[in-house]
Amino acid sequence: MLDRNLLRAAPASLQANAGAAPHFHVLATAHPDYVALIEAETAFWVLVRREEALDLLLGEDLPQAFAAKEAELARDLNTVRFGLLPSAVYFNPTERCNLDCTYCYLPREMRRRGRQMEPARLVEALGILAEYFQNTLPEGARPQLVFHGSEPLLAREAVFTGMERFAGRFRFGVQTNATLLDREAREFLVSQGAGIGLSLDGPTAAVADRTRKTWGGEGVFAQTVTALEELADYPGLNVIVTVTRENVAALPELVEFLHARGVRNVLLNPVRGTQQGGRELLPDQAALTHYFFTALERTQELLDRTGRKLVVGNFANLLLGLTAPGARRLMCDISPCGGGRCFFAVGAAGEVTPCSEFLGLPEFCGGNLFETALPEILASPPFRKVTGRRVEDIHPCRRCAVRHFCGAPCPAEIHALEGTLHAPAALCDFYAAQARFALGVIAAGRLDGYLWDHWQENLEEIRVI
């Protein structure tokens, strides 16, 4: 017999998942006792004990509480997705590199014999950028400018001249393979308060040198580790690990290696398949998921044992995406991604692309910094293609509960792999698992252990339920 009393007389809007009511996905998390109920449109989630989940989902309290805050939640997410101004630049002062890392996002010929900026030209470029940001950003804002590569220290004189000339106008960073980072260079960068990113792919030469080596085939592990040890106390240090099938199993050991040397920030970035070399090194997703999570857990074991944090920045960023979307520090795991709308890349000849990942794909060049006004470049068709790429327009992302914690990255990689921007992430399974792991971390009360200290500063709480 049917029981019509089960159909409450409440307005349809208070009965989840039908009519105008909000739709909540139910998602298993890495925590055995909790599931997540997710309203994906606003990136709202609530963790609830499994045995209570159905009552919460079918009751009136959740839809009612959500309805009261829906506009605020939507506004918050929309600001992050569509309302931010460009405030950061990847600046490649040279196309050349003294290494031949097989997975690089720049084509090999470009790295071998490419163009390089003279100091005066680089200063001219920074002047154009500084003026643009002065006209667009609020007073007092200091945009980021990261000298990236290829190897930016091959253009050391130009880079250091630019940093001196524009000190105070930008927050500078340098991403380097450390082979040219001699004492003088280190002291200069530290004196400027610059961020320093070192690339290191393994805890031993045997692992690290599989992918990162000179044109003659020699590894540079020892040089990188020396530089790392000399900078370990520097708060602006960050280590970038490119995760490939060659080093994925070594991630837990690598985390221990870095922690033992006092490193506080690391990015464990899965390689992008934008160029053929990267495609050949894409890690197996199941292996990536296993070792990545093991490495994350290792950071917590080390924290418990020593009281010292090693923050895995790309995972911490996902946690921020869940808890404070506007405070995120990286912009790959949201759609549209940050390319072309939060940051852009400038190549050694002044060409401007949405992200450095696109520098090897000429069809995504929006114009030249020295020839075309930046607002025009940022509104160019190649940029609009990237800035207009939304998960809502991609199948099956549009129905995914974690679409706004993943973002279906990366457009450059997907374009190279699929010939279209409108396809899901190459590592879709990994990103979905990562979101469920992150929700489990929160359920376990370990959020602070994975995040930077003081992460809640200047944030306002939105309390829904």
Partner 1 sequence: MQSPKVIQIRYTCKPDGNQVGLSHYLMAEATKK
Q: Which of residues 120-179 bind partner 1 (CB under 8 A)?
A: 137-138, 140-144, 146, 148, 171, 173, 175
**Rounded Cα–Cα distance for residues 355 and 55 (Å):** 46
Q: How far apart are the first and last CA of the chain?
A: 35
Nearest partner of 405 among 334, 338, 339, judged by Cα? 334
Q: Of the two residues 271 and 365, which places its CB atom closer to partner 1 in the complex?
A: 271
Which residue in the set 102, 238, 247, 380 belongs to the binding site for partner 1 (CB under 8 A)? 238
Q: How far is CA 91 from CA 40, 172, 235, 295, 399, in A?
A: 35, 10, 22, 31, 36
Query: Considering the complex, what minimum distance in angstroms separates the CB of residue 313 from partner 1?
Result: 4
Judge contact between 366 and 354, C-beta under 8 A.
yes
One character per residue 302-331, x = contact with partner 1 (rule: CB under 8 A): -----------x--------xxxxxxxxxx
Residue 343 binds partner 1, judged by CB under 8 A: yes
Chain centroid offset of residue 207 CA? 24
Q: Which stretch binds partner 1 (CB under 8 A): 71-79, 110-118, 152-160, 285-293?
A: 71-79
Token pair, residue 453, equals 């200290």
Residue 412: phi and psi, rounded to 5, are -65, -45
Q: Of the two residues 206 and 462, which places its CB atom closer to partner 1 in the complex?
A: 462
Query: Considering the complex, what minimum distance in angstroms separates the CB of residue 396 from partner 1?
Result: 24
Query: Considering the complex, what minimum distance in angstroms separates the CB of residue 83 from partner 1?
Result: 7
**Rounded Cα–Cα distance for residues 267 and 254 (Å):** 12
Which residue in the set 12, 17, 28, 49 belongs to the binding site for partner 1 (CB under 8 A)? 49
Which residue in the set 54, 72, 182, 284 belongs to the binding site for partner 1 (CB under 8 A)? 72
**Rounded Cα–Cα distance for residues 48 and 35 (Å):** 6
Residue in the block written with tokens 């009519």: 19
Query: Considering the complex, what minimum distance in angstroms separates the CB of residue 330 from partner 1?
Result: 6
**Rounded Cα–Cα distance for residues 226 and 380 (Å):** 44
Which residue in the set 13, 15, 64, 87 belongs to the binding site for partner 1 (CB under 8 A)? 87
Tell the burial category of 235 from Cβ atoms under 10 Å away from its Cβ (0-12, 13-18, 19+). Answer: exposed
**Which residues does residue 312 pair with via DSSP β-bridges, in sequence order?**
266
Task: Compute how many residues bind partner 1; rule: CB under 8 A.
Answer: 80
Q: Which stretch binds partner 1 (CB under 8 A): 85-93, 153-161, 206-214, 245-253?
A: 85-93
Judge contact between 272 and 410, C-beta under 8 A.
yes
Helix (H) / strand (E) element for 412: namely helix 411-418
Which residue in the set 19, 32, 83, 375 belongs to the binding site for partner 1 (CB under 8 A)? 83
Query: Considering the complex, what minimum distance in angstroms separates the CB of residue 258 from partner 1?
Result: 13
Residue 237 binds partner 1, judged by CB under 8 A: yes
User: Would you state the torsion angle of the CA atoms of residues 455, 456, 462, 465, taken in this order, to the nearest 10 degrees?
Assistant: 90
Q: Of the two residues 183 and 454, which places its CB atom closer to partner 1 in the complex?
A: 454
Alpha helix stretches (DSSP H) within 97-139: 108-113, 119-136
Neighbours of 343 (CB within 10 A): 22
Q: Which residues between 440 and 459 bind partner 1 (CB under 8 A)?
A: 442-443, 447, 456, 458-459
Which residue in the set 178, 250, 406, 464 belongs to the binding site for partner 1 (CB under 8 A)? 464
Q: Which stretch binds partner 1 (CB under 8 A): 1-9, 157-165, 337-345, 391-399?
A: 337-345
Residue 367 binds partner 1, judged by CB under 8 A: no
Q: For 186, how many CA atoms within 13 A lie in the half-sphere containing its CB?
A: 19
Which residue in the set 52, 131, 184, 280 belongs to the binding site for partner 1 (CB under 8 A)? 52
User: Would you state the torsion angle of the CA atoms of residues 127, 128, 132, 138, taken in this order, to the nearest 10 degrees?
Assistant: -10
Chain centroid offset of residue 261 CA? 24
User: Would you state the torsion angle of the CA atoms of residues 451, 456, 461, 464, taken in this order, to the nearest 10 degrees?
Assistant: 10
Helix (H, G, I), strand (E, B) or coil at 95: coil
Q: Of the two residues 88 and 408, which places its CB atom closer to partner 1 in the complex?
A: 88
Q: Which stretch binds partner 1 (CB under 8 A): 121-129, 211-219, 221-229, 264-272?
A: 264-272
Query: Considering the complex, what minimum distance in angstroms separates the CB of residue 186 from partner 1?
Result: 13
Residue 392 binds partner 1, judged by CB under 8 A: no
Query: Considering the complex, what minimum distance in angstroms separates the CB of residue 450 from partner 1?
Result: 13
Q: Of the two residues 148 and 436, which places its CB atom closer to partner 1 in the complex?
A: 148
Query: Considering the complex, what minimum distance in angstroms separates the CB of residue 26 from partner 1?
Result: 14
Q: Of the two residues 65 and 205, which places its CB atom closer to partner 1 in the complex?
A: 65
Which residue in the set 11, 32, 235, 375 belongs to the binding site for partner 1 (CB under 8 A)? 235
